Amino acid sequence: MKRLNLTICVFGLILSGVGTVVSAQVPTYKVETILPAPYCTSVDLSADGTKLSARIVYGDWDLGFRIFNALTHELIRECHVDDTPWTGLFSSNSRYIWSTFYYGGSLVKIDVETCEVVQRLGIGSWTWGLAFDSKMRYLYVGENCPGNDIGSLVVVDTVTASVVARIPLNGEPGQSIVLDPYDQFVYVLTNNLGTETLYKIRTSDYAVEATLPLPGVGNPGISLSPDGKIAYVPHTGANLVYKVDTTTMRVVGHWPIDSPHSFLVSPDGTHALVMGHATPRIQVFDLSLGEMIQTIELGDLGYYYPHATSYYWDIRNGRVYIPICAARGGAAVLVAYQPTGLPVADAGDDIVADADEVVTLDGSGSSDPDGQITQYTWKRLPDGVVIYSGPEPTCQTRALGRVEEVIELTVTDDSLATATDTLKIISRTTQELKDQLAALQSQIEQVRRQNQELRALVDKISSFPPIAHWLRRVAKLGDLNGDGRVNMADFALLTKGWLR
């Protein structure tokens, strides 16, 4: 499993089905459930994969953590913690949560079985961001010095429960702290009077190797590519996401994205999950195409602001946990999957109606084999006038009185796949004429069948040996009655008196 820490804020969610992706195919995401955790600013999965923690605010600004069963999503317990816990990460044995305290200036160790604070380390001023190394021994704590616009990165050995290093930073480190895959460097984004600086710090001697000023970024969340060679830094003010070469610490490119706040790169490096600055939705960004390929609307969450501190990709189970800070937020569960089939659109039978008659269009027969249909769009063809577009399968419209109106139904499922079907609204007068024509065609068909049957009978009679013999004589003797034609009259003359 791989742990990444980053700024975002939406209710904590679990994205499942990602796994270790070998191909470049990007999965589709959908909301599975929402675990209640209002104003969630951090989530974490225990090392054994059984427990999920979510930092919450409840009551009269009481703060703490809710512990959920990661498999069943049931609430195990709620741990109230004094002061202002902000970011919480499980210990390596899954028994404890290490948490920063935004106003408390300390790092605490909480027993998740008893909810007791068993250890408290004084860090200094406010503590906010938090990140573990891959071995889950060393914690990197962001310390803010309010009023001075400066801070530090504090390194804590969780085995000895001691501070082993303090790296001064020219700015408040805030929430964005992330280590490369090899634990060689830690990257910290700081804010000093509107100027953001990306720090690259060696973990071998805790020295600053390089810095990169990024004016006006707004202290959003950063993430790294799977190999650690690219840092992705959203710039909310400029509506951009920067690509930073972590070797040279230079900007090597950017993407225009509307008000980005968090840009979470998947473990396989094919895509990123993007959170807007004040929009309760998640978008999927294809890194190879350089464009959004899916939008997941989270609905009305009340007060919402992206302000969380950690997310977690669980490669083993193909899930990512994301905190979402909202009044009605919590630990949401998103499922990622590869679509196995397209939706099926069913516009229903054709409709016969008089001009200006109200008719009902019904697409409830439509279906989706691996998800659900989220939108039904009805429109007239060929002008493309939209009659209705929304989540309901039925709608009403008035017949225009044309000979025929072609109505197209387009269904869209939760993976944004679409399918279409059409029906016709037919004028009642036109239908009556069609019915009359159909009846006439039926009569013509009946006469045609009778004619075929008569011909078959004649062929059968003419194949009877005596009749065939007579016919051959007629053909041989030719025109017997002198009328210039060889026909049944010659046959009658030839057989005259035979049947007496």
Please give the tally of structural domains in the chain. 3
Mean pLDDT in residue range 48-66: 76
Residue 29, pLDDT score: 77
Is the distance from CB of 246 to CB of 185 less than 8 angstroms? Answer: yes
Rama region for 219: left / alpha / beta (φ>0; ψ in -120 to 50; rest): left
What is the spatial distance between Cα 282 and Cα 297, in angstroms, rounded to a whole number?
Answer: 7
Q: Identify the band that residue 397 occupies on the pLDDT scale cut at 50, 70 and 90.
A: very high
Secondary structure class of 441 (helix, strand, coil): helix
Same domain, 407 and 319: no
Q: What is the pLDDT of residue 168?
A: 92
Which of 288, 317, 337 represents a domain boundary (last residue)? 337
Res 212: pLDDT:
93
Give Rg (Cα) of the chain.
38
Q: Which two tokens stand for residue 353?
A: 């109606």
Instruction: Spell out where 75-229 has E strands.
Output: 75-80, 85-90, 96-101, 106-111, 117-122, 126-132, 138-145, 150-157, 162-169, 177-179, 185-192, 195-202, 208-215, 223-224
Same domain, 283 and 423: no
Question: What does the DSSP assignment read for 180-219?
Answer: -TTSSEEEEEEEETTEEEEEEEETTT--EEEEEEEET--S
Last residue of a domain, one of 314, 337, 360: 337
One domain for residues 295 and 369: no
Q: What is the pLDDT of residues 211-223, one digit of tens each?
A: 998 876 555 678 8
Looking at the fold, whether 390 and 498 belong to one and the same domain comes out as: no
User: Beta strands 117-122 and 106-111: pairing type?
Assistant: antiparallel
Residue written as tokens 């003359």? 493
| Residue 176 CA: distances (Å) to CA of 187, 226, 251, 326, 440 | 8, 17, 18, 20, 79
Residues 381 and 352 in one domain: yes
268 and 364 part of one domain:
no
Report pTM: 0.65
pLDDT digits (tens, 9 = 90+) for 221-249: 788 998 999 999 888 778 889 999 999 99
Residues 170 and 54 in one domain: yes
Report how far residue 382's alpha carbon sits from residue 311's, in angstroms, rounded to the nearest whole number. Answer: 48
Of residues 345 and 492, more confidence is placed in 345
Same domain, 60 and 83: yes
CATH of the domain at 380: 2.60.40.10
Peptide bond connecting 382 to the previous residue in cis, omega within 30 degrees of 0? yes
- Name residues whose C-beta falls within 8 Å of residue 181's C-beta, 6 or more positions apart in sequence: 2, 134, 224, 226, 227, 228
At which of 290, 313, 337 does a domain end? Answer: 337
The Cα 268–Cα 338 span in angstroms is 15
For residues 21, 24, 26, 27, the Cα torsion angle rounded to the nearest 10 degrees is -40
17 and 134 assigned to the same domain: yes
- Round to whole Å and give the CA distance between 164 and 186: 15
Full domain range(s) for residue 130: 2-337
**Do 434 and 484 fall within a single domain?**
no
For the chain, report the end-to-end CA distance as a whole number of angstroms.
109
For residue 357 the two structure tokens come to 């008659």
Q: What is the rounded CA–CA span in Å between residue 207 and residue 26?
A: 38
Looking at the fold, whether 454 and 354 belong to one and the same domain comes out as yes
DSSP assignment letter at 339 = -
Q: Residue 470 pLDDT more than 50?
A: yes
Question: Is residue 146 predicted with pLDDT exceeding 50?
Answer: yes
168 and 42 co-located in one domain: yes
DSSP 390-432: ES-SEEEEE----SEEEEEEEEEETTS-EEEEEEEEEEHHHHH
Looking at residue 116, which CATH number applies to its domain?
2.130.10.10
Instruction: State the Cα torsion 13-16-19-23 to the nearest 10°.
Output: -110
Under the banding of pLDDT at 50, 70 and 90, the label for residue 424 is very high
